[in-house]
Amino acid sequence: MVNEPLSGHGSLRPSIWGKVIGPQYIELALRWAHEADPEAKLFVNDYSTERLNAKSDAMLALARTLIDAGVPLQGVGFQTHISTTWHPTREELRATSSASLPWASTQMSLSSP
pLDDT per position as a tens digit, 19-78: 999 999 999 999 999 999 999 999 999 998 888 889 989 998 999 999 999 999 999 988
pLDDT at 51: 82
Position 96 pLDDT exceeds 80: no
In terms of pLDDT, which residue wins out, 84 or 19? 19
Q: Report whether pLDDT(10) > 90.
A: yes
C-alpha to C-alpha distance for 2 and 17, rounded to whole angstroms? 11
CB atoms within 10 A of CB 24: 12
SS3 93: helix
**How large is the average pLDDT for residues 101-106?**
83
Label residue 10 left, alpha or beta by phi (over 0 means left) and psi (-120 to 50 means alpha): left
- How far apart CA 109 and CA 107 sit, in angstroms, is 7
First-residue to last-residue Cα distance in the chain: 31
CA distance 7 to 43: 17
CB 98 within 8 A of CB 71: no
